[in-house]
């Protein structure tokens, strides 16, 4: 499908370039100044060839990303079109890289650096991928709704529960790492384009942030919901079909289940009730977070898999479509 000139369903044939082969050889061997200098010279040619529109894989708020091959990409800051290419440098022992090595969903760790240009793993590999929520190039409302409902929703609603569980587990794990200011770390949830569906997984392709820079005190259920629902603020409820609402419901339920499975804190009720209630309202649900919490707390089932099934069935009934809108069933109020 193509929306506003943007290919939304890209696929690749697995290919590892000679540069990537040599990069891996250098990374896996000990320091060798001659080989590292030769690699820098080779990368200059790679950069000149791939720093073009046809190799662009998109951009975040701070960086541009270009494909090298199916295994690696290069990234450099928005602030320059001609980044400085200096000597090869191995991954430094940053807090972000140390955290990233512990996470299941993170693909943004730096593999090597050449001055201002970073080399990262290609999170998409040779598989199809779908970008979460929206694309920066879609400016008009009909095309934005079309991408959200026809591409994003069915793709992410079809993901297995394990994809959401892994993401929730990573969010919880990042809460354990603290900056010198005492803040935990988190993904850049302000830009949902950092989250992509690759096969049956959710992968994250941007940098790990200090939560203090993202106006949050840590990761909780609201963090998880922000990733998948923040764009609903810009889409009118009447733009959703019944099928769209089913997909929204499925994603919402999988987020609740993931938070429960990972033991991810629901957060301070006063802080997250507003955002969560807004998401429910945006997808046609009357009710609030407290009612959902109350219904789940009533579930007394120690068996993990059975509890999951009971929670899913409970939420499915609570979010039942009635007259084109979702309403909480009376027995749960």
pLDDT of amino acid 126: 63
pLDDT of amino acid 244: 87
How far out from the chain centre does Cα 214 lie? 15
* Residue range 151-162, pLDDT digits in tens: 999 999 999 999
CA atoms within 13 A on the CB side of 13: 0
CB atoms within 10 A of CB 92: 9
Q: Is the pLDDT of residue 9 over 80?
A: no
Give the residues across from 103 on adjacent strands.
Answer: none
Among 49-53, 120-124, 283-287, the least confident range: 283-287
Q: Is the pLDDT of residue 232 over 80?
A: no
Residue listed under structure tokens 């850049």? 188
pLDDT: which is higher, 200 or 301 = 200
* Residue range 243-288, pLDDT digits in tens: 888 888 899 999 999 999 999 988 766 666 676 777 777 666 655 6
pLDDT of amino acid 217: 64
Query: Rounded distance, CA 119 to CA 204, Å?
Result: 15
Domains of the chain, by residue range, sit at 13-121, 129-332
CB 153 within 8 A of CB 243: no
Report helix, strand or coil for 79: coil
Q: Which residues contact 92 (CB under 8 A, 6 or more apart)?
A: 110
Percent of the chain with pLDDT over 70: 83
Q: What is the pTM of this model?
A: 0.82
- What would the mean pLDDT of 82-88 be, rounded to a whole number? 91
CB 16 within 8 A of CB 70: yes
pLDDT of amino acid 288: 62
pLDDT of amino acid 271: 65
* Residue range 165-212, pLDDT digits in tens: 999 999 999 988 888 777 888 888 777 778 999 999 999 987 788 776
């Amino acid at each position: 499908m193509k929306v506003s000139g943007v290919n939304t369903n890209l696929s690749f044939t697995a290919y590892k370039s000679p540069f990537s082969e040599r990069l891996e050889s250098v990374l896996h061997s000990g320091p060798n100044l001659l080989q590292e200098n030769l690699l820098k010279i080779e990368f200059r040619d790679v950069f000149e060839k791939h720093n073009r529109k046809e190799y662009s894989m998109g951009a975040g708020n701070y960086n541009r990303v270009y494909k090298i091959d199916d295994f690696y990409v290069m990234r450099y800051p928005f602030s320059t079109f001609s980044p400085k290419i200096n000597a090869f440098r191995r991954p430094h022992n940053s807090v972000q890289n140390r955290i990233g090595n512990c996470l299941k969903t993170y693909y943004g760790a730096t593999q090597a650096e050449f001055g201002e240009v970073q080399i990262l793993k290609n999170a998409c590999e040779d598989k199809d991928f779908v970008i979460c929520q929206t694309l920066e190039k879609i400016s008009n409302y009909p095309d934005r709704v079309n991408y959200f409902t026809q591409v994003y929703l069915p793709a992410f609603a079809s993901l297995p529960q394990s994809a959401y569980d892994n993401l929730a587990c990573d969010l919880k794990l990042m809460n354990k790492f603290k900056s010198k200011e005492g803040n935990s770390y988190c993904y850049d949830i302000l830009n949902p384009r950092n989250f992509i569906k690759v096969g049956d997984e959710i992968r994250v392709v941007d940098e790990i942030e200090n939560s203090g820079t993202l106006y949050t005190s840590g990761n909780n259920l609201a963090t998880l919901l922000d990733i998948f629902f923040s764009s609903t603020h810009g889409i009118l409820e009447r733009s959703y079909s019944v099928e769209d609402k089913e997909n929204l419901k499925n994603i919402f339920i999988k987020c609740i289940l993931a938070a429960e499975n990972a033991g991810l804190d629901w957060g301070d009720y006063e802080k997250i009730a507003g955002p969560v209630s807004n998401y429910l309202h945006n997808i046609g649900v009357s009710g609030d977070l407290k009612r959902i919490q109350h219904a789940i707390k009533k579930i007394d089932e120690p068996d993990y898999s059975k509890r999951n099934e009971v929670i899913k069935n409970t939420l499915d009934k609570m979010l039942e479509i009635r007259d084109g809108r979702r309403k909480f069933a009376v027995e749960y109020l």
